[in-house]
Structure 1
């Protein structure tokens, strides 16, 4: 079993996963909305969200775990130290994904794992990576050939930067990293490169 990076309060992470085998875990528009509703219920209380993209067979989220004083309001704490255990944070995310799996399996009369494995996580440690990750996540549907233009994919946070939708996105923080909304748009019109 691989050692997983713990999710720690205040830190930034790229959270992602892929469907099991050749399955898709979003088959219609309602599935995307059900997944986002679960995300808002379970994850928004413990994370600031900077970007997301839901694809038919995988997803990406860019989050920051909230500070401990906010986590304590939502998560169980260690009785002796009155602190939140990082395993509790991971469990909350896993619970969100498991809850979606159960509803998906019920809806489509299937059994078994929906996701390939436990969700993956990569720390985001630099400003440059912050900007590149937001761009990468939003560009995913274009890169994978689902749409020709980034704004045509309705299951990402990109369009919410130009509207009042997805109120859980920390738009002001993201725009600050890009400099302004015009530069945000300019960067997203360019091809992604490392």
Structure 2
């Protein structure tokens, strides 16, 4: 069963976290914007002693990033909580910092994101695998790229080659396949279902 109960946050659980721009507006306008969001996510997921930033980071290994995708007007994160620190702490640190950055850069005011972020407790392994496919397919279904490997702002490239903007704990997914090509095939086969919203769980759709 997959639920939206924020009170169920607990170590060892997986969560699909997502949100979009207030009024469906864009939240990323150019590569610098995507890169800044990723830098904030990275510094909180993988804090470093030599980080010169004065921003207080979360304790190391508080969360594991399984998959992610940043789209022009929304984002998706697949996270495993490892400690007694709720996912809201991570999301708040990343999105508050990014919101301030974007408002200052573009001389904007007000809330960047739409309401509170959405969170789904993912307790079924089959759903976990399907969810990773859905997250990775976003750019292709939106018509941003023809080949998912060419999209820079998701974890798909890291899954395929071990290279990318942000390291992920992709073994959680890939260890269930014979090889990377088998997973890639599943993502491709899932594309038409996702594109047409066929057999797509309702909680995957942005309200």
> Do they fold alike, i.e. is TM over 0.5?
yes
Aligned residues: 174
User: Are residues 124 and 146 of structure 1, via their aligned partners in 2, closer, same or farther at CA, if it must alter by over 3 Å?
Assistant: same
68, 84, 107: which is aligned to 1:52? 68
User: Are residues 54 and 167 of structure 1, via their aligned partners in 2, closer, same or farther at CA, if it must alter by over 3 Å?
Assistant: closer
The separation in 2 between residues aligned to 1:12 and 1:38, in whole angstroms, is: 21
1:148 CA drift (Å): 2.1
**Secondary structure of 1:177's match?**
coil
Hey, which bits of structure 1, 4+ residues long, moved more than 4 A?
none
Match of 2:6 in 1: 5
Q: Deviations over 1:10-66 (max 9, x none)?
A: 100000001011421110001001000011122454211111000000000111001
What is the root-mean-square deviation in Å for CA atoms of aligned residues? Answer: 1.8
**Secondary structure of 2:175's match?**
helix
Match of 2:16 in 1: 14
Given the two structures, how large is their TM-score scaled by the length of structure 1?
0.82
The separation in 1 between residues aligned to 2:89 and 2:96, in whole angstroms, is: 10
141, 153, 156: which is aligned to 1:155? 153
1:165 CA drift (Å): 2.5
Alignment partner of 1:96 is 2:94 = yes
Alignment partner of 1:186 is 2:188 = no
Report if the CA contact (8 A) 1:52-1:157 is conserved: yes
Given the two structures, how large is their TM-score scaled by the length of structure 2?
0.77
The separation in 1 between residues aligned to 2:158 and 2:147, in whole angstroms, is: 15
